[in-house]
Structure 1
Amino acid sequence: MRGLVRTIALLAGLAAMPTFADVTLRAGDTVVAKGELLDFDGRFYRILGEFGETTLDGRTLTCAGEDCPGPDAPERLRISGEGWIVDTVLPPVIETFAQREGYTLQISDEGATHVYDLLLNGKSAGRIELLPTTSAEGVADLIADVADFAVMLRPPTAPEAAMAREAGRGDLTRHERRAILGLDAIVPVVSALSPRTQFGPGWSVRVDPQDLHLPDPSTALGQLVLDAFPSLTGVGAIYYQDAGELSRAVAEDPDAIGLTLYSKIGNAQAVPFSGECGASIAATPETMKTEDYPYTVPILIYAPARRLSDLARDVIDYATSPVAQPVIRRAGLLDQFPESTSFAVQGDRLGLAISTAEDSAALPGLRRMVRDLRDRSRLSLSFRFTGGSSELDAQSQDNVARLARAIARGLFDGRDILFAGFTDRAGPSSANRALSRDRAEAVRDAVEAAVGPDVVPLAADGYGETLPIACDDTNWGKRVNRRVEVWIGAAAAKETPLPGN
């Protein structure tokens, strides 16, 4: 185990290694565990002994050994990962968390690490360490056991996930191992002086490389861009380590075009993507929350498969709670607080549906959809699937839990919820309706399993290709058209009391 962790850390290029020491843990006169002390987070000891790694609650134990932590050692949380998020988003989250919990903060730097000591009545009650690195270094620190959380702009790669399993950190590909801190997006940008107003089909192969500004492929954002636009691989563009610097360069050059983050647009001008059918879609808070925008990027926090300290659980619960969403938004990310829009504002989508209807046989399905949805409001929580499969993507998996919590809190009491499934135009209309209904029912069943039956009425139906968001002539257009939307019924009218009652 010790050799494995050191090997992983060496492969990951870590500068610092965890220190192992032999200790003995006792409950009274009884030896409970003996072995190498892997970590102590202020409450839990992790020991590597004869039978492998063991986690023990230290509140009733005494530790004997040269490197045993002091009896008053505070709980600790170590976070490593994507530098600009760790530097700009997490500090206000920690500061407001401390304020709500009644802690006084002492902030200091230890080398590159930002240290937040939590004091209660003048005594140390906890310690949070923030290390701004990269997504790759964050997950490497998690694997090497020098971080409790990894903040990432992308999911772990297959080799990273394999190393995490080998090191006993669990399966990082499972949604239970991660949470979403907030949302961002990959957006096309131009100068305000540019004549370009949209990015149409095939733009990536027609652009002059000397005018193309991209995030460096070695960065997490660069990897996401190449995954989304494989034709940009090796094009000889101008590359940047920092997305903000990229946006500034594009803003100053009327001929330049670039791909950056929504949160880093700055003085550049964001433009929409468009398709041959005339539909276009831009990155807005609404389209990013619904994932109608195809290149939405969830900011991910990964945790290992081991017991976390109370402090670690409290911080992550707060950071992903509704009360923290305004803090996330002010810090520069898009929050995940659900919003609703009425059917009356769906004019653009209805216009596209009518204009792209291939024959008159499609109109009855369109009329049925209008009849079913016109008295409802669309919730910004939507559900999409990975690679055309039946597996929900990361943002959608979190949306199941988020919707279930909202239902459990009574936010939809007196209303009913319809899960409306849609597809692209590939295949016969009858098959598309059946597929969209099956997916809608799968999402409904997942939400019902999370919240329990009979809390509010949950229904599901499929409408096939009747309400496209984008053109089907691109992969991203097909992807956003395959979805399950959430439509909320009007509140039930209350009975008017009779006179005298």
Structure 2
Amino acid sequence: MVILLRAAVCAALSFWITAFSAFAQDVTLTSRDSRVEITGTLLGFDGEFYRLETDYGELTVDGSGVLCSGPGCPNLDDFVAELQLSGSATMGSILMPALVEAFAENTGHQTERRVDGPDEFTYLIRSKDSGKLAAEFHFNVSDSDEGFADLLADEADIVMALREIRPDERARAREAGLGDMTARNRSRVLALDALVPIVAAKNPVRAISPQALADVFAGKITNWQVLGGPDAPIDLHMPAAGSGLAQAIDDLVMMPAKLTLTESMARHDTLAELAAAVVDDGLALGLTAYAERQGAAVLSLTGRCGFSLDASRRTIKTEDYPLTAPMFLYYPARRLPQIAREFLAFTRGPSAQIVIRRAGFVDQTPEEIAVEEQGNRFANAITVAGLETTLEELQRMANTLTPMARLTTSFRFEVGSIRLDAQSRSNVEQLARAMEIGRYDARRLMFVGFSDGDGPAQANREIALKRADAVRRAVSEAAVAANLDRVVLDIDAFGEAMPMACDDSAWGRQANRRVEVWVR
């Protein structure tokens, strides 16, 4: 009986494996001289290259050299490129549609938006001249978690995220053959936003320290009187749990303070609802996106040293505002259809930057800020100078930088690491491309390192100088097509001589550890 049962199971298993193999081998690619033949599951076709799962692993094959046979073969005459985008609702509902429509207009196409479900829609992109369908861009808008999950399940080509990829997601992506998602050309910052604390205009409180902000949302501070306001309870408002912005709040506000969020708060499905609730409640404090502050008053971030930082397009672009929240695109190490590659290239260009600004977000176009437009930075440097920051060093800094202008492109490092953070890695590519097209030919770029005030001043300056040199080398290596003989790349460092924020918090120290770019 046992033998018969085993035989039956083996027969069934053998049939299932055979059937599965027959189904999996849905296409065969044959070289034009018929000498090479590859059979496997068609994972994708971009109009030029086939992507197959085979017995030898995942292969990419040039379509011009093979003939395709089998039920899975695409129609080469009426090929329609498909692109799957998944992730952040903020990006997918507002920013990306605006960019898709602008891209179509700029490339002689027209768009039609088709609603596929509550959180799904498709842009049909057609030629204006012939009306022929060229591409379908499918959007699944939910949150960053869902976007990365779809990527790992091979159900998305591009992830829209309001946070960096997590270490476990990065490891699973490697295991799935998607490459290192933090490597060069695997991710980029599309635009910038920021977390801002908001109150009603009639609320007398106008500033809060990052530590106090974390204490409030952890439930440790519950009365406005502690913050200099009336003797009244603080009503808290937050984005929906699990959203990319809520995760950014955990990363940027709560984790540096080693605190967790209290449960005593109102959650909102949309940021418009959140802002409206705060405006209507004079005793409310909310955390939202800079682009969605609407009619609410935004609190300045301050510290015990007296420095104050306000969220603005310029301070967000330079990352001087400590709660800057980059908007990421992640894509695996595989070819995308040509029209998709053209779209991604468009999103880096000047036309796309205008669209990003009009959508209410902060664009990535480098700007030059003259010294007289930089506020009280030099005055603050003199005010907080310690015994180790000499007058001679302050004069050297002023004499070096005053004839130059600061670029809004800045570089910062991961906490406790010499590795550039995600936004800075994107900035390396951006500055390198500008050098490749000759934007800084016959000019001088100086990478200037600054540090926090922990430790001896001379040691801090040496560390800052090494970081400046590391950034210079990274940009030089990335600018492969640039003629580096046409631009002067210098480095210098002034250590702790020009702090952006108070050193009494992790946020302040992180803001102070930076490499700026100055141009002349």
Distance 1:404 1:173 in 2: 18
Name the structure 1 match of 2:7. none
Name the structure 2 match of 1:207. 221
2:242 to 218, 243, 268: 218
CA offset at residue 116 of structure 1? 1.9
CA offset at residue 379 of structure 1? 0.8
Name the structure 1 match of 2:279. 251
CA offset at residue 347 of structure 1? 4.3
Residue pairs, 1:373-412, within 5 angstroms = 373-412=401-440
1:118 to 107, 122, 126: 126
Distance 2:304 2:26 in 1: 67
Name the structure 2 match of 1:151. 160
Note the alpha carbon deviations across 1:434-492, whole angstroms, 9 max, x for none. Answer: 11111111112222223353221111111011111111011111111111111112xxx
Distance 1:446 1:87 in 2: 34
Is 2:66 aligned against 1:58?
Answer: no
Is 2:44 aligned against 1:36?
Answer: no
Q: Secondary structure at the match of 1:308?
A: coil
Distance 2:280 2:207 in 1: 18
Q: Return the letter of the residue paired with 2:138.
A: E
Distance 2:43 2:69 in 1: 15
Note the alpha carbon deviations across 1:79-134, whole angstroms, 9 max, x for none. Answer: 11112311211122112212222223343233322232323523232222222222
Residue pairs, 1:310-459, within 5 angstroms = 310-359=338-387, 362-451=390-479, 452=482, 453-459=484-490
Give the TM-score of the pair, scaled to structure 2.
0.86
1:68 to 73, 80, 84: 73
CA offset at residue 333 of structure 1? 1.6
Range that drifts further, 45-54 or 364-373: 45-54
Q: Secondary structure at the match of 1:229?
A: helix
Please, which runs of 5 or more residues in structure 2 have no aligned partner?
1-22, 223-232
Distance 1:59 1:128 in 2: 25
Q: 1:212 to 1:362 in 2, by over 3 A?
A: farther
Q: 1:421 to 1:368 in 2, by over 3 A?
A: same
Give the TM-score of the pair, scaled to structure 1.
0.89
> Aligned-pair RMSD on alpha carbons?
2.0
Is 2:503 aligned against 1:463?
Answer: no
Residue pairs, 1:223-242, within 5 angstroms = 223-230=247-254, 231-242=259-270
Note the alpha carbon deviations across 1:7-39, whole angstroms, 9 max, x for none. Answer: xxxxxxxxxxxx966221223345531022223
Contact 1:42 1:76 in 2 (8 A): no
Name the structure 1 match of 2:335. 307
CA offset at residue 325 of structure 1? 0.5
Contact 2:122 2:136 in 1 (8 A): no
1:92 to 92, 95, 98: 98
Note the alpha carbon deviations across 1:169-196, whole angstroms, 9 max, x for none. Answer: 2221324211211110111111111111
Identity of counterpart residues, as a percentage?
41
Q: 1:404 to 1:175 in 2, by over 3 A?
A: closer
Distance 1:413 1:32 in 2: 51
CA offset at residue 162 of structure 1? 2.2
Q: Secondary structure at the match of 1:386?
A: coil
Distance 2:443 2:27 in 1: 58
Contact 1:153 1:221 in 2 (8 A): yes
Contact 2:164 2:422 in 1 (8 A): no
2:28 to 21, 24, 27: 24
Q: Secondary structure at the match of 2:325?
A: strand
Q: Return the letter of the residue paired with 2:151.
A: L
1:131 to 132, 140, 144: 140
CA offset at residue 338 of structure 1? 1.0
Note the alpha carbon deviations across 1:135-187, whole angstroms, 9 max, x for none. Answer: 11111111111221111111122222222222212221324211211110111
Contact 2:104 2:125 in 1 (8 A): no
Note the alpha carbon deviations across 1:189-223, whole angstroms, 9 max, x for none. Answer: 11111111001243432532851212234222111
Name the structure 2 match of 1:186. 195
Aligned length: 471
Name the structure 2 match of 1:7. none
Contact 1:143 1:163 in 2 (8 A): yes
Note the alpha carbon deviations across 1:314-349, whole angstroms, 9 max, x for none. Answer: 111111223310011112221111111111233411
Contact 1:24 1:31 in 2 (8 A): no
Range that drifts further, 265-274 or 139-148: 139-148
Q: 1:446 to 1:286 in 2, by over 3 A?
A: same
Distance 1:220 1:20 in 2: 36
Q: Return the letter of the residue paired with 1:437.
A: L
Q: Secondary structure at the match of 2:361?
A: coil
Please, which runs of 5 or more residues in structure 1 have no aligned partner?
1-18, 490-501
Range that drifts further, 198-207 or 388-397: 198-207
Q: 1:60 to 1:142 in 2, by over 3 A?
A: same
Note the alpha carbon deviations across 1:256-293, whole angstroms, 9 max, x for none. Answer: 11111111111111111100010010111110111101
Contact 2:309 2:501 in 1 (8 A): yes
